[in-house]
């Protein structure tokens, strides 16, 4: 009896899958607790495959967070694109905070991890920069540039504080805060 052959797998899209799995591992263990081993195991891929497809952890994290930011920005964009007027836009922003940003603890955690990396790594700061730029662009569909910028900052702050606060703000509070920042 020969041992089972090493089971060379035909696995297109493997690279792509690894990138997605990376975000899951980071969400579960933090960047600090993320390793090639954990990702490889979660993706059901041999360890050697990791450094075959990516030059190192840095590249992998950059790719993964770029994907994350793109998805956030897409959702942001879609919400505001669907709003017909300023009033609907305001509702869209509230929904965005309460549903998109706070709805998934996973995403909250990942956002912080991204900011922490971005504070050190220019490559990831570029990712956050592009994300912010797209957000403001989306807001400018309905608000003037200055308001868009203030609003973007407020959204950020509301999301963070709501996430960290054991007694988070109500939707009414969030709506009220937003009303103030867009009143010109």
d(CA 166, CA 122): 33
The CB density around residue 156, as the number of other CB atoms within 10 Å, is: 16
Residue by residue, what is the 3-state secondary structure of 103-125? HCHHHHHHHHHHHHHHCCCHHHH
**Which residue in 17, 24, 42, 51 binds DNA (CB under 7 A)?**
51
- Binding characters for a copy of itself, 22-61, by CB under 8 A (x = yes): --------xxx-----------------------------
**Interface positions, 87-116, toward DNA (CB under 7 A):** none
Q: Where are the alpha helices (DSSP H) in 8-144?
A: 14-29, 36-42, 47-53, 57-82, 86-95, 102-103, 105-118, 122-139
Report the residue from 21, 27, 34, 138 that binds DNA according to the rule CB under 7 A. 34
Name the residues that contact a copy of itself, by CB under 8 A: 30-32, 105, 108-109, 112-113, 115-116, 118-120, 125, 128-129, 132, 146, 149-150, 152-158, 160-161, 163-166, 169, 173, 176-177, 180-181, 183
């Amino acid at each position: 009896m020969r041992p089972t052959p090493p089971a060379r797998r035909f696995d297109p899209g493997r690279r792509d899958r690894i990138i997605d799995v990376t975000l899951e591992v980071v969400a579960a263990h933090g960047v600090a607790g993320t390793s090639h081993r954990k990702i490889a195991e979660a993706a059901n891929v041999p360890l050697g495959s990791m450094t075959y497809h990516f030059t190192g952890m840095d590249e992998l994290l950059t790719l993964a967070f770029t994907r994350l930011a793109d998805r956030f920005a897409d959702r942001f964009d879609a919400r505001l694109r669907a709003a017909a007027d300023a009033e609907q836009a305001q509702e869209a922003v509230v929904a965005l905070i309460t549903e998109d940003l706070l709805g998934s603890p996973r995403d909250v955690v990942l956002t912080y991890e991204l900011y922490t990396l971005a504070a050190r790594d220019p490559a990831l700061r570029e990712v956050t920069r592009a994300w912010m730029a797209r957000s403001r662009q989306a807001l400018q569909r309905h608000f003037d540039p200055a308001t868009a910028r203030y609003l973007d900052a407020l959204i950020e702050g509301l999301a963070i504080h709501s996430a960290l606060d054991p007694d988070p703000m109500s939707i009414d509070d969030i709506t009220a805060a937003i009303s103030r920042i867009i009143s010109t």
